[in-house]
Amino acid sequence: MPIRPKNCAIALATAVSLCTALVSTAAIAAESVNVYSYRQPFLIDPIFDEFTKATGIEVNTVFAKKGLVERLKSEGKNSPADILLTSDFGNIHAAVGADILQPVNSDVLNANVPSEFRDPDGLWFGLTNRARLIVVSKDRLTDNRPARYEDLANPEYKGKICTRSGKHNYMVALTASVIAHAGADEAGKWLNGVKDNLARKPQGNDRAQVKAISQGECDIAIINSYYMGAMLDDEEQTTWANSVDVIFPNQEDRGTHMNISGVALTKASKNRDNAIKLIEYLSGPDAQAIYAEVNHEYPINKSVKPSALVQSWGEFNYDAIPLADITEHRGAASRLTDEVGYDN
Ligand code: FE
């Protein structure tokens, strides 16, 4: 999986040597930057294209769903990567643990990214926000809907809840946030209660839970907010999305749990100035508007409006506890998930 210019994404056999040549040129050209990305090409390519148009700096990307942190670690200072782009805070946390990042001190980033969504030392920055929502069946759960994450442990919802694996990053982060607010004992009781209410063994991704509601398997699910947009944009999944109502949990107390996609500068970066330009660009209004429209995420930059769909859900209060404080509890959250046998 070599670093490739974007126009090599669908390289045919005959074009491989051309792409290799481009890579060599990119590697020695001053005006380039190399990105390892957990974020998908459909989302980031349009943003990188705009960046290149605006600055003349070529962006080369390696996309992978897994293993980029491990790859950066094994490549060490020889890594060609300048930037790590992640789809979740869990990957950032792993990168911090692997000691492969270097801090960025940027007034632009400090202005564009609220302090709760960036590292106090500048090791990482959030780029987009997503709310961890409760969704409920429009038709079957019309009364006594859950209003807090804590409510999901109430016996009245026995056999009504579907979630993905409790060990997935999104779920671990939510459990870690419950620990951060209530302590490990309370969080353990809560998680055990949610497990007791599951309609089926945890399986599938977030969207699969909404599909299960639309098919009558359960009435309640927990999903990231942008998947509502993704389902409505997909003909085959529109009926899933339309079978549920969206609830922003914990509006009367701490607010809804948020996660981020993020960005960081690698320790190995050889194109540091260009990399910082790109990171700053990603937090700016043009890139933030593309994130909002293409993927229905909340812009991290509060000067940019969410998509029309996301705006239609209205304003809400979010849990502004620093992500760094939630992260401390990820290990404990993962252990609790095993202890209560959440996925069994
Ligand atoms: Fe996702």
Q: Output the DSSP codes for 139-179.
A: TT--SS---SGGGGGSGGGTT-EE-S-TTSHHHHHHHHHHH
pLDDT, tens digit (0-9, with 9 covering 90-100), for 279-336: 999 999 999 999 999 999 999 999 999 999 999 999 999 999 988 889 899 999 999 9
pLDDT at 6 over 90: no
Alpha helices in 155-256 (DSSP H): 169-182, 184-196, 206-214, 226-232, 238-242
Separation of CA 25 and ligand 1 centre (Å): 34
Q: Which helix (H) or strand (E) holds 299?
A: strand 298-299
pLDDT at 59 over 70: yes
Q: Report the C-alpha gap between 112 and 6 in whole angstroms.
A: 27
pLDDT, tens digit (0-9, with 9 covering 90-100), for 199-251: 999 999 999 999 999 999 999 999 999 999 999 999 999 999 999 999 999 99
Residue 23, pLDDT score: 46
Separation of CA 47 and ligand 1 centre (Å): 18
Separation of CA 229 and ligand 1 centre (Å): 12
Separation of CA 197 and ligand 1 centre (Å): 24
What residues contact 161, with CB distance under 8 A and at least 6 apart? 152, 194, 197, 198, 199, 218, 219, 220, 221
> Amino acid identity, residue 143?
D
Residue 319, SS3 per DSSP: coil
Separation of CA 226 and ligand 1 centre (Å): 8
pLDDT at 44 over 60: yes
Residue 16, pLDDT score: 35
Q: What is the mean pLDDT of the chain?
A: 92
Separation of CA 315 and ligand 1 centre (Å): 22
Average pLDDT rounded to a whole number, residues 48-66: 96
The CATH superfamily assigned to 130-257+318-339 is Periplasmic binding protein-like II (3.40.190.10)
> Number of C-alpha atoms within 13 angstroms, CB side, residue 317?
11
Q: Checking DSSP bridges between strand 244-247 and strand 58-63, what pairing results, if any?
A: unpaired
Separation of CA 27 and ligand 1 centre (Å): 31
Separation of CA 224 and ligand 1 centre (Å): 7
Cite the residue boundaries of each domain of the chain with CATH code 3.40.190.10: 7-129+259-307, 130-257+318-339
Residue 272, pLDDT score: 97
Q: Which helix (H) or strand (E) holds 331?
A: helix 330-339
Tokens, residue 168: 């997935």
Residue 328, SS3 per DSSP: coil
β-partners of residue 132 are: 224
Average pLDDT rounded to a whole number, residues 134-138: 98
Tokens, residue 331: 């290990």
Residue 316, pLDDT score: 96
Residue 15, pLDDT score: 35
Tokens, residue 203: 């399986």
Separation of CA 56 and ligand 1 centre (Å): 31
Separation of CA 102 and ligand 1 centre (Å): 26
Residue 90, pLDDT score: 87
Average pLDDT rounded to a whole number, residues 27-40: 83
Average pLDDT rounded to a whole number, residues 89-109: 95
**Confidence tier at 13 by pLDDT (50, 70, 90):** very low
**Confidence tier at 27 by pLDDT (50, 70, 90):** very low
Separation of CA 70 and ligand 1 centre (Å): 20
Separation of CA 57 and ligand 1 centre (Å): 29
Burial (CB < 10 A; 0-12, 13-18, 19+), residue 207, is buried
Average pLDDT rounded to a whole number, residues 40-60: 96
pLDDT at 10 over 90: no
Tokens, residue 161: 């809840």
Tokens, residue 324: 């760094």
pLDDT, tens digit (0-9, with 9 covering 90-100), for 159-206: 999 999 999 999 999 999 999 999 999 999 999 999 999 999 999 999
Separation of CA 294 and ligand 1 centre (Å): 14
Tokens, residue 232: 């409505």
**Confidence tier at 21 by pLDDT (50, 70, 90):** very low
Q: pTM value?
A: 0.85
Assigned CATH class of 7-129+259-307: alpha beta
Tokens, residue 265: 């500068």
pLDDT at 17 over 90: no
Residue 279, pLDDT score: 98
Residue 308, pLDDT score: 95
